[in-house]
Amino acid sequence: MPVTDTLSLSVTETLNRRRSVRAFTDRAVDPALLRDIFTAAQRAPSGGNLQPWQATVLTGEPWQAMKDAVAARIAMGREGHEPEYDIYPKGLTEPWEARRFGVGEGLYAALGIPREDKAGRLARFMENYRGFGAPVMLFLHCSRIMGPPQWSDMGMWLQSVMLLLVEAGLASCPQECWAMYGATVRRTLALDDGQILFTGLAIGYADEDAAVNQWPVPRAPLDEVIDWQGF
Ligand SMILES: Cc1cc2nc3c(=O)[nH]c(=O)nc-3n(C[C@H](O)[C@H](O)[C@H](O)COP(=O)(O)O)c2cc1C
């Protein structure tokens, strides 16, 4: 990797530094750097070593064509939706619903967009479909025959990529919102029908000054997630 931006960080520091970045500069990303990152991410574990993850990485014209294709579906309103899967379970209960609500409120508060400003919040959400200005967009997909264990493997690969990006001085935002327009994304990527789209990953250099990249994203206390037995 080029030494210019590469950071010397422990795993813990890298984890702490990673966040979902929602404003990028227009600085181009070196494809050789991305190749190094994807090569390293191949070390991600997977059940039976299936390595079920497959990704398509766009920049320049193909990335613009994707934004245009999805914008045309968005313009159709609800009719344009082609959800790939339920992004959240129907009837999400506590404590998960509060966490989901909380992250949205934190984001809009950081941007000073009040709840009454529905148009402002929608416009901000639509920034998703610009990849928040990122110069590179990765789409993570896999064969439709894969089940929950392999989707978990995809998650491990995704986190590996995100941490390696941090190490390289880059930033990212995972974006399952693209699954709302899954068929359009797959058609535009020329993926065959045997593939299912999991998520996008916006990749680029963070706009460090942007308010949207500053607010703290809380986590549940450990007692809510870890049950110690026999200690
Ligand atoms: C698979 C996945 C999909 C996500 N999709 C979106 C998305 O569509 N839009 C978005 O703004 N954030 C998205 N996020 C970011 C989450 O909101 C974020 O990870 C969470 O709030 C924790 O914040 P942090 O990543 O900054 O630590 C996604 C995260 C993951 C792991």
In ligand 1, which atom is closest to the CA atom of 198? Answer: 1
Instruction: List, for residues 158-169, the tens digit of each pLDDT value.
Output: 999 999 999 999
**pLDDT for the residue 7:** 79
Which residue blocks in the chain are alpha helix, DSSP H?
11-17, 31-41, 60-74, 96-111, 118-126, 148-167, 182-189
Contact (CB, 8 A) for 62 and 135: no
**pLDDT for the residue 2:** 46
How far apart are the CA of 156 and the centre of ligand 1, in A?
A: 15
Separation of alpha carbons 118 and 114, rounded Å: 8
**Residue 53: how many CB atoms within 10 A of its CB?**
25
Q: Which residue's CA lies nearest to atom 4 of ligand 1? A: 175
Given ligand 1 and candidates 113, 176, 197, 219, which is best to mutate, with the most ligand atoms within 8 Å of its CB? 176
Cα distances (angstroms) measured from residue 46 to each of 57, 72, 86, 149, 174: 21, 37, 24, 9, 20
**pLDDT for the residue 147:** 98
In ligand 1, which atom is closest to the CA atom of 103? Answer: 21
Q: Return the SS3 of 147.
A: coil
Q: Which of the residues in the chain have pLDDT under 70?
A: 1-4
How far apart are the CA of 231 and the centre of ligand 1, in A?
A: 33
Separation of alpha carbons 117 and 119, rounded Å: 6
**pLDDT for the residue 6:** 79
Q: Which residue's CA lies nearest to atom 13 of ligand 1? A: 175
**Residue 80: how many CB atoms within 10 A of its CB?**
15
Q: Which domains does the chain carry?
A: 11-90+130-213 (3.40.109.10)
**pLDDT for the residue 3:** 44
How far apart are the CA of 20 and the centre of ligand 1, in A?
A: 6
From 196, 176, 177, select the one nearest 186 (Cα to Cα). Answer: 196
How far apart are the CA of 22 and the centre of ligand 1, in A?
A: 10
Q: CB under 6 Å to ligand 1: residues?
A: 19-20, 22, 103, 128, 173-177, 199, 217
Q: Which residue's CA lies nearest to atom 28 of ligand 1? A: 174
